């Protein structure tokens, strides 16, 4: 609708149309129902004069869009995206209030939890207004949202006019909103604190708004606003009530009533009623609001149908309202995600499954989509979840391996680039042994261990695997191969024997992959959108994942949520860190213990999911973490989600969990201990270095690197390692439905898949992070959309904070050749840990397709 049409509408206001008469009757009936009667002699509200257009039907504590610039600037801090809005109010010419004109506003989140906005009011009062003359108001607002439940706001206002009485009135406003619970919001706004006045007698009185928004259902479906304004110059209280009601699938009904002159027998009132129509699309939403404002406080006894309009364009989506035509989402993976990136990818796919407007998901895999089979199984689960929700999934491969084949076999369809293929001909595992190198250097690895299966020291003490270690590796390889074959067979509608036979023919070019039934066809990148439409069976829009706009929340603030705590990397004493250049992560005992203590004492955290992604490490670090896991599990639901690895010390800290989930391909178990050191005496002798030792007791230098253990010391060390092992199985027995003897039978360093571990009662359920979260929600009584916080927080640089990029650190990783990094990482754990510490560390190399 054009502005000229609006002007024409305004010009014809004196002759109310039939529609306006019907609107007046409806509004009057509503007001009578609420119990307000019409006064015989109307008066103008006290707070008239040079002022902005009022915000009609919106609550002081619950309004989270750009209209908050004129109501409560603190609330723009809660906005999930930007908004541009046009508002207009049209009044009968015989009314005495100046509330006619247009307002243009824009507000958006910035960075560092800041939001800002600008509003311009162009006020054209009715001819009968008490003080005639047009004027403009410019408002600039700034908000800082310390949390999702608390925000501070500030705004500056200034008027401009050819009329001296309206010109140069500059003031400032401060505001605060707190949302302590999903059902309650509280606000306080101090308007025009400086009480601006000009030389012509124009002024704006300081005023103070206090309001409460109540949501009886805990969501925005129904909101009641109870507010009051105190006007300082006139010493008057002005109460106000608002109502907001979501009407699916249209939008939202809003209304409000304000009372003036309470000292009179029958106070004057202003009432409004409006309907907002929302329409969302992948990139945002639009709002069109139409309504009417009336009441004898406007300056006439029979003014009920004064229209107001709003039109808004947003970069966030509304939780109600119409949806754009259905669409497909493109997800492109160009780098293999780490554990945190993997989890965030899963969360995005889960959200897509719950989006009614999403028809399909296009997965463009340009590298391995997961760094382990356990993560690939969680990705497969996300694909199955999409399909259960009626979404179709198309996987497009370029030059991928077995991990992508396994994952994509769950999809509706698999296509491959004509020049690409499948670099897959089976599984393998490789281990490096350094005893020969160490012997040449004159270094002797001296270790004591419990159980033949605890083979981690063999890398340093042998030139190849022992028979037991070899058998363990072969069994692990066979277990994972079976899971892969069964998964591919189920997804591609083949028999396991057929899958195995075809894998032996690999690797495959595109045509060979199709002949082997591992893909359905070939397609270039530019043909993928048509392929999606063909798969769906109709024309559809394909949008990139990063285009999807966030949705406005249904609830106030931040309800109780779930803390996902990562134990990611080798477990060490002290603080978590990353080894530069290698990207090798170290999970520090102090960091994890403090994080567990914090969430245990935080009332905003209803449940904890301990995400274990570690092969183990220091026994001391494990016990420090174990204690905090045990204490937390006694206080609130603590669910363990085992990722790629949760072995040795990783299993140690998992045992006290209330429930343990593992993927079938998770590597776990390895319940055992080893202890040792490197004897460099021969190396020093070769290079001409002599070490003299003076001691006050025979064993003072037993842990020295400059001599081997004596026979007596080895015997005593074996005893101590046995004591550490006994502590280990005691901790496990306390947390699992097993006694110590039963734990010992499945321990002795033996490594298990998650599937095998469940059969041996080392885990409770087979499932990934999605199942663990669902269980935690149920146990804590949390809603499906309960917030999730990931801890410990990543150490982010100042630049990263400004750009909003998590994990952008000053010690950015430098890429080094894969062959060299592989060797260094193999030796890494033995270089990280001190030689005099008992170790609980996984000994098995990863299995790769």
Least Cα distance to 674 among 656, 648, 713, 695 occurs for: 648
Integer Cα distance of 306 and 24 in angstroms = 9
Cβ proximity of 77 and 61 under 8 Å: no
pLDDT digit string, tens, across residues 449-501: 888 898 888 888 899 999 999 999 999 999 999 999 999 999 999 999 999 99
- Give the mean pLDDT of 562-567: 98
CA distances from 284 to 69, 255, 324 (A): 21, 25, 10
The predicted-structure confidence for 161-170, as pLDDT tens digits, reads as follows 988 888 999 9
Distance CA 736, CA 745 (A): 14
Length of the chain: 849
Q: Cis omega before residue 249 (within 30°)?
A: yes
Contact 843, 455 (CB under 8 A): yes
Query: DSSP letter string over 501-561?
Result: HHHTT-SEEHHHHHHTTS-SEE--GGGHHHHHHHHHTS--EEEEGGGPPPBPPSSSS--SE
Contacts 24+ apart (CB under 8 A), 726-735: 727/623, 728/619, 728/652, 728/671, 728/672, 728/673, 728/840, 729/671, 731/626, 731/652, 731/655, 731/656, 732/651, 732/652, 732/655, 732/671, 732/762, 734/655, 734/656, 735/630, 735/655, 735/656, 735/657
pLDDT at 836: 63
- Compute how many other C-beta atoms are within 10 angstroms of the C-beta atom of residue 596: 27
Q: Tens digits of per-residue pLDDT, 34-61?
A: 333 333 334 445 455 688 999 999 999 9
pLDDT value, residue 834 = 60
Please give the residue that has the higher pLDDT: either 755 or 249.
755
Three-state SS letters, 762-823: CCCEECCHHHHHHHHHHHHCCCCCCCEEEECCCCCCHHHHHHCCCCCCCCCCCCCCHHHHHH
CB atoms within 10 A of CB 538: 9
Residue 202: helix, strand or coil by DSSP? coil
Q: What is the pLDDT of residue 5?
A: 27
What is residue 51's predicted lDDT score, i.e. its pLDDT?
85
- Range with the poorest average pLDDT among 280-294, 385-399, 793-807: 793-807
The C-alpha atoms of residue 656 and residue 635 are separated, in whole angstroms, by 12
Would you place residue 679 in the very low, low, confident or very high pLDDT band (cuts 50, 70, 90)? confident
Give CA 4 to chain center in angstroms. 46
Instruction: Please indicate whether residue 677 or residue 762 has the higher confidence score (pLDDT).
Output: 762
d(CA 373, CA 485): 12
Pair 193, 172: CB distance under 8 Å: yes
DSSP state of 164: G
Architecture of domain 3-322: Beta Barrel (2.40)
Span 356-381, mean pLDDT? 96
Domain with CATH 2.40.160.40 in the chain: 3-322
Check residue 43 and give its pLDDT: 44
Q: Which of 344-348, 555-559, 781-785 has the highest mean pLDDT?
A: 344-348
Q: What is the pLDDT of residue 278?
A: 96
Question: How large is the average pLDDT for residues 766-774?
Answer: 98
CB distance 304 to 292 below 8 Å: yes
d(CA 719, CA 450) in angstroms, rounded, equals: 10
Question: Residue 468, SS3?
Answer: helix
- Mean pLDDT is lowest, of 39-43, 360-364, 529-533, 720-724, for 39-43
Distance set, CA 593 to CA 246, 391, 619, 629 (Å): 44, 41, 14, 8
CATH 3.90.226.10 maps onto the chain at 326-547, 561-692+701-848
- Residue 343 to residue 610: CA distance in whole angstroms: 13
**Binning pLDDT at 50, 70 and 90, where does residue 302 land?**
confident
pLDDT for residue 568: 96
Q: In the prediction, which pLDDT does 848 show?
A: 65
Taking the CA atoms of 555, 561, 564 and 565 in sequence, report the sign of the dihedral they define: positive
Q: Is the pLDDT of residue 600 over 80?
A: yes
Read off the pLDDT of residues 403-456 as tens digits, 9 standing for 90 and up.
999 999 999 999 999 999 999 999 998 888 988 988 998 988 888 888 889 888
Question: 326-547: what fold?
Answer: 2-enoyl-CoA Hydratase; Chain A, domain 1 (3.90.226)
Say if CB 559 and CB 787 are below 8 A apart.
yes
- How much is the pTM? 0.86
90-136 pLDDT, tens digit per residue, is 999 888 888 899 999 999 999 999 999 999 999 998 887 756 689 99
Question: What are the tens digits of pLDDT across the range 221-239?
Answer: 999 999 999 999 989 999 9
**How sure is the predictor about 88, in pLDDT bands with cuts at 50, 70 and 90?**
very high
At residue 163, the pLDDT reads 87
d(CA 583, CA 587): 13
User: Within 10 A of 759 (CB to CB), how many other CB atoms are there?
Assistant: 11
pLDDT surpassing 60 at residue 18: no
Class of domain 561-692+701-848: alpha beta
Per the CB < 8 A criterion, the answer to whether 548 and 285 are in contact is no
């Amino acid at each position: 609708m054009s502005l000229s049409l609006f002007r024409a509408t305004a010009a014809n206001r004196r002759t109310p149309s039939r529609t306006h008469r019907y609107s007046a009757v409806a509004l009057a009936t509503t007001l009578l129902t609420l119990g307000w009667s019409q006064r015989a002699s109307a008066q103008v509200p006290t707070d008239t004069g040079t002022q902005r257009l009022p915000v009609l039907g919106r609550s002081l504590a619950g309004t989270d869009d750009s209209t908050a610039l004129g109501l409560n600037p603190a609330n723009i801090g809660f906005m999930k995206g930007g908004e541009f809005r046009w508002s207009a109010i049209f009044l009968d010419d015989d009314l005495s209030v100046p509330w006619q004109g247009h307002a243009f506003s824009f507000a958006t989140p910035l960075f560092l939890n800041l939001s800002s906005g600008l509003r311009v009011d162009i006020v054209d009062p009715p001819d009968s207004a008490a003080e005639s003359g047009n004027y403009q108001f410019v408002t600039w607002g700034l908000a800082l949202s310390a949390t999702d439940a608390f925000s501070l706001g500030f705004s500056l206002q200034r008027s401009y006019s050819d009329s001296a009485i309206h010109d140069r009135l500059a003031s400032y406003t401060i505001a605060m909103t707190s949302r302590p619970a999903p059902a309650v919001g509280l606000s306080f706004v101090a308007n025009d604190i400086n009480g601006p006045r000009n030389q012509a007698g124009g002024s704006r009185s300081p005023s103070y708004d206090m309001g409460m928004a109540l949501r009886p259902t805990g969501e925005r479906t129904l909101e009641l606003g109870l507010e009051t304004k105190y006007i300082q110059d006139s010493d008057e209280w002005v109460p106000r009530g608002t109502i907001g009601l979501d009407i699916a699938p249209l939008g939202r009904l809003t209304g409000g009533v304000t009372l003036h002159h309470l000292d009179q027998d029958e106070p004057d009132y202003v009432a409004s009623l409006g309907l907002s129509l929302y329409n969302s699309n992948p990139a945002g939403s639009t709002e069109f609001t139409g309504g009417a404002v009336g009441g004898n406080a406007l300056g006439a006894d029979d003014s009920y149908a004064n229209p107001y309009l709003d039109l808004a364009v947003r970069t966030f989506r509304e939780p109600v309202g119409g949806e754009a035509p259905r669409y497909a989402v493109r997800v492109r993976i160009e780098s293999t995600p780490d554990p945190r990136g993997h989890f965030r990818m899963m969360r995005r796919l889960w959200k897509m499954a719950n989006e009614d407007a999403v028809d399909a998901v296009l997965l463009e895999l340009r590298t391995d989509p997961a760094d382990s089979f356990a993560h690939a199984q969680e990705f497969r689960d996300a694909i199955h979840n999409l399909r259960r929700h009626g979404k179709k999934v198309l996987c497009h491969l370029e030059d991928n391996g077995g991990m992508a084949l396994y994952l994509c076999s769950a999809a509706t369809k698999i296509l491959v680039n004509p020049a690409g293929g499948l670099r897959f001909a089976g599984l393998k595992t490789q281990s490096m042994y350094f005893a020969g190198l160490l012997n040449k250097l004159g270094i002797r690895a001296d270790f004591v261990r419990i159980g033949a299966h605890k083979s981690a020291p063999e890398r340093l003490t042998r030139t190849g695997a022992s028979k037991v270690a070899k058998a363990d590796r072969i069994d692990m390889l066979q277990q994972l191969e079976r899971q892969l074959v069964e998964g591919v067979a189920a997804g591609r509608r083949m028999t396991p024997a057929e899958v195995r036979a075809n894998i032996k023919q690999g690797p495959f070019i595109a045509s060979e992959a199709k002949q082997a039934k591992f893909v359905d066809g070939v397609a270039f990148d530019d043909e993928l959108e048509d392929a999606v439409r063909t798969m769906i069976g109709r024309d559809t829009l394909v949008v990139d994942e990063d285009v999807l706009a966030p949705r406005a929340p249904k609830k106030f603030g931040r309800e109780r949520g779930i803390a996902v705590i990562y134990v990611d990397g080798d477990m060490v004493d002290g603080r978590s860190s990353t080894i530069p250049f290698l990207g090798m992560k170290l999970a520090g005992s102090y960091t994890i213990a403090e994080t567990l203590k914090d969430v245990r004492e935080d009332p905003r955290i209803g449940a904890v999911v301990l995400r274990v992604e570690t092969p183990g490490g220091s026994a001391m670090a494990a016990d420090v973490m174990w204690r905090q896991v045990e204490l937390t599990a006694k206080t609130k639901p603590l669910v363990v989600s085992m990722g790629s690895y949760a072995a040795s010390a990783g299993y140690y800290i998992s045992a006290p969990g209330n429930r343990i989930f593992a993927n079938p391909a998770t590597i776990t178990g390895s319940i055992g201990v080893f202890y040792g050191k490197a004897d460099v005496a021969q190396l020093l002798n070769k290079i001409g270095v002599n070490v003299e030792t003076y001691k006050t007791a025979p064993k003072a230098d037993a842990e020295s690197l400059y001599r081997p253990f004596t026979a007596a010391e080895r015997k005593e060390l074996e005893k101590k390692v046995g004591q550490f092992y006994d502590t280990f199985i005691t901790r496990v027995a306390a947390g699992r439905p097993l006694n110590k003897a039963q734990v010992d039978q499945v321990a002795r360093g033996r490594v298990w898949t998650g599937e095998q571990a469940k059969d041996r009662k080392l885990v409770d359920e087979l499932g990934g992070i999605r199942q663990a979260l669902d269980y935690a929600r149920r146990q804590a009584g949390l809603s499906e959309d309960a917030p999730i916080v990931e801890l410990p927080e990543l150490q982010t640089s100042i630049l990263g904070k400004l750009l909003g990029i998590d994990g952008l650190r000053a010690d950015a990783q430098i890429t080094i050749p894969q062959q060299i990094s592989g060797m260094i990482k193999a030796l890494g754990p033995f270089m990280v840990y001190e030689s005099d510490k008992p170790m609980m560390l996984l000994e098995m190399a990863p299995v790769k397709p």
